[in-house]
Chains A and B, each alone.
Chain A
Amino acid sequence: MTEENKPFDGPPLSLEEELAAARAEPEAGPDIKTVNEDLADGVNRCPKCGSTDVRLRGSTGMLVCLFCRNEWQESRVEEEFGLGEGIDDLQGTVIAGGAEEIDDDANAVVTLKCGGCGAEVVVDTAHAMNARCHWCRHTLNIQQQMPNGAVPDAVLPFRLTHDEAVTRIREFASKRQLFAHPRFKKEFVPENVLGVYLPYLVIDARAEATYAGTGEVQTRRWTEKHGDNSTTYYAADVFKVDRTVQFTVDDLTIEGAADRASKDESKTNNIVNTVLPFDTKNAVKWNSSYLVGFTSEKRDLDVDDLQPVLQDQLLSIGRSQVEGSIAEFDRGVRWEQEGLDVGGSRWVSMYLPVWVYSYFQEDTKMLHYIAVNARTGETMGSVPVSQWRLVLAALTVGTFLEGIAGVLLVALS
C-alpha cells in the first residue's frame, strides 16, 4: 500500500484527548434484545389449530388452547439469552430490552388493530396486557416492548391455583384468630385473593467489597469480690481489621414498582418482599397469553433508580460472606467503613406471580396483605390486631409471672 491510498483515519489526537480516552470507563456491554419476534403481529395463535383463545393452564405452567386443548410453552430465557452464563466476565451495566428506561410520556393506554376484523381495541397496560375484540372475539396481546415499562423481558407463569392459594391464606389467618381485629375476622373472605404479576428486576452481578473496622480478642477474664457482690472483669487486645471479598450473585431479585418497594412503616410491603425468592431460572420469554385472567402491575423504577438498592444488597452480602473469617475476634467486630466496586451487572425485567389477599384497616388506614408465592407456595401476611385483647393477654401473663415471683420471694426470705 502506497502512502497516497492509505485509508484516512482522522487527524492525530492531542495529548489531552489521548489521556481522556485512556481514562474513560469501559464501554457498556451490549444490550440484550428479548423481543419475542413470533408475536410481532400482536396475535398469539395456537400452533396446532390457529385459534387465539389461549391462556395459562396453572396446573402445568403451560399455555393451553381453549379450542383444541393443545398445550405448549415459550422457551426459558435462561438458555435463550444466555442469562446464567458469564457472570464472572460481566463489564459495565448490561440492560435487557424490557428493563430499559421508562419514557414518562409514553401512554399506558394502547390501541390495537384487531387482526381478525380490523376493529380498534383499547388496552390499558397499567392493568391488563390483553383485550378481546368485542366484534369477533379475537384475543389481542400487547407484545411490543413499549417504553412505558409494561412489557418485561420474561414472565414466570403462575403454578399454584386459586384454590391452593385460598387454602394457604385460610391456614395462615386461622392460626391468627384469637387476637385478630374483629372487623378483619368478620370481613375475611380468602376467596377474594387476586393473582397479580408483579414487576421485578432480576440482576446478575460481579463485585468486590472491602470492609474496615475494629475487633477485640479477650486475653483474660476474672472476678473480684466487693463485700457480698462480685464483678466480672475482662482484658482484651484491640485490632484494626480489614477484609476484602470478590463474589458474583446470580438472579438477585429487586422490586420494580415504587409502591411495592417502599418499606416505610405505614405500609406492610415487607410482606410481599418476604415471599421471595422465586425460581427465576424457569422464567420464559414474554408472551402476554400467560397473563390472561390475572392482573399485572407496571414497572415504574429504572435501572438507575435501583443502583443504590443493588449496592446496598451487595454490601450486605459481602458482610455476610466475611463473617466466617472473623471468628478469632471473640469479643466481636465493629465495622466502621465499607466500600464496593461493581465490576459488572446484567439487568433483566420479569413478571413474577403472587396471589395477594389485601385488607384495608379503616381505623389505622393501613393496607394489610397476605401474600402467597405462586411458585413455591411460601405464604406470609400481616393480620390487623385487636390492641386491647393483646394488652389484656400481656397483662394476664405479666400478672401470672408476678404471682410466681412473689411466691418465690416469700419462700426465700
Chain B
Amino acid sequence: MTALVSGVVLDVVVMASDGPPVWLLAAGPAGAVATYWALFRYYRNTDKSHSYERDTIIEAKPVQGGREKIDHISKTRRSGIDGDNSSRHRQRVNRLR
C-alpha cells in the first residue's frame, strides 16, 4: 500500500518538468491502488452498512430555517467550501444544548 502511494508521489516529482503531460505516468500506480481497493471492498465489504436514513419509514414536516450573509470571498482557488459535510449525514459535529 504505502509503497504504491509513494510510487505515485515519486513519479509526479521526478517527472515534473516541461514537456509532454508527464502526470500520465501516475496512471500506473494510481490504477494499482484503485484496483487493490476495489477488489478488497468487493470481497470484504467493510464500507457497507444499513442505510436507515433511506430504508426507514420517515415522515417529516416542512424544513424551516434561514440564511444570513456574513462574508464575501473575492478570490479563491477552492472550487467548494472547506469541510463540506452536507451529504455526510453520519459525520457528527458539535452538539447544541
Interface residues of A (CB under 8 A from B): 176, 179-180, 210, 212-216, 219, 231-253, 263, 265, 268, 270-271, 273-277, 312-313, 315-317, 319-326, 329, 331-341, 380-385, 390-391, 393-395, 397-406, 408-409, 412-413
B72 touches A249 (CB 8 A): no
Bound-state Cα–Cα, A374 to B50, Å: 16
Selected contact of B94 from candidates A277, A320, A337, CB within 8 Å: A337
B56 touches A251 (CB 8 A): yes
Q: How far is the CB of B14 from chain A (nearest CB, A)?
A: 13
Besides A394-B35, A398-B4, 16 other A-B contacts (C-beta < 8 A): A234-B79, A238-B70, A238-B73, A239-B68, A268-B46, A270-B48, A274-B50, A312-B90, A321-B60, A325-B63, A337-B94, A382-B44, A382-B46, A398-B29, A400-B31, A402-B28
B43 touches A180 (CB 8 A): yes
Bound-state Cα–Cα, A314 to B45, Å: 25
Q: How far is the CB of B18 from chain A (nearest CB, A)?
A: 8
10 tightest Cβ-Cβ pairs between the two chains A and B: A402-B28, A398-B32, A339-B96, A332-B84, A243-B65, A238-B71, A250-B57, A247-B60, A276-B50, A401-B31
A274 touches B49 (CB 8 A): yes
CB-CB < 8 A to B56: which residues of A?
249-253, 277, 317
Q: Which residue of chain A lies nearest to B90 when distances are taken between CB atoms in the complex?
A: A316
B25 touches A409 (CB 8 A): yes
Q: Which residue of chain A lies nearest to B74 when distances are taken between CB atoms in the complex?
A: A235
**Which residues of B68-97 have CB atoms within 8 Å of chain A's CB atoms?**
68-87, 89-90, 92-97
Selected contact of B33 from candidates A179, A213, A333, A394, CB within 8 Å: A394
CB-CB < 8 A to A340: which residues of B?
95, 97
A336 touches B93 (CB 8 A): yes
B45 touches A237 (CB 8 A): no
A242 touches B94 (CB 8 A): no
Q: Which residue of chain A lies nearest to B83 when distances are taken between CB atoms in the complex?
A: A334
CB-CB < 8 A to A390: which residues of B?
36, 39-40
A274 touches B76 (CB 8 A): no
Q: How far is the CB of A321 from chain B (nearest CB, A)?
A: 5
B95 touches A249 (CB 8 A): no
Bound-state Cα–Cα, A225 to B64, Å: 44
B57 touches A251 (CB 8 A): yes
A270 touches B46 (CB 8 A): yes
Q: Knowing A270-B46, A412-B21 touch, does A234 contact B39 (C-beta < 8 A)?
A: no
Bound-state Cα–Cα, A312 to B53, Å: 11
Q: How far is the CB of B85 from chain A (nearest CB, A)?
A: 6
A394 touches B32 (CB 8 A): yes
B86 touches A333 (CB 8 A): yes
B4 touches A394 (CB 8 A): yes
Q: Which residue of chain B lies nearest to A247 when distances are taken between CB atoms in the complex?
A: B60
Q: How far is the CB of B65 from chain A (nearest CB, A)?
A: 4
Q: How far is the CB of B48 from chain A (nearest CB, A)?
A: 5
A231 touches B77 (CB 8 A): yes
B73 touches A334 (CB 8 A): no
Q: How far is the CB of B71 from chain A (nearest CB, A)?
A: 4
